[in-house]
Amino acid sequence: MSTEQMRMVGLDSLGRRAFEIKWDEQGLTSGRANWVSDKLQAVDILKVVVITYWPVDTELHRMFFEDKGNNLQIVYQTNRENAWNETVQIKDHKNDYEMTIISYEIDK
């Protein structure tokens, strides 16, 4: 992630590339492996990633979780404030996938 773009690659449990997402000034582009279900849409994954790090005390956050109900489970390794520098586990029961985000700050 940089100020110009966000790139994300999803791997399955065997390390195979399942999907990729790029979000920049041109918009959102994505792709997925032919063995990945059509139900798995990049925009839905991106929404979940954004809300994982979005401030909790906002209208957007509240509306998102009202829409998702109990279908989405997000577990932070320690706490939400540290999420950008640790592991986050996500389960989306409605879309039938689990995702682990491992993020860390890279020194420049």
Number of separate domains in the chain: 1
Phi and psi torsions of 53, nearest 5°: -110, -5
Within-domain flag for 95: yes
> d(Cα 37, Cα 54) in Å, to the nearest integer?
27
Tokens of 60: 């957007």
| Domain carrying residue 57 | 5-102
Instruction: State percent of the chain over pLDDT 90.
Output: 15
Helices within the chain (DSSP H only) = 42-53, 59-68
Tokens of 80: 């939400």
For residue 61, pLDDT beyond 80: no
> d(Cα 87, Cα 66) in Å, to the nearest integer?
24
Within-domain flag for 47: yes
Lowest-confidence range among 1-5, 60-64, 73-77, 80-84? 60-64
Q: What is the pTM of this model?
A: 0.72
For residue 53, pLDDT beyond 70: yes
Mean pLDDT of 47-53: 82
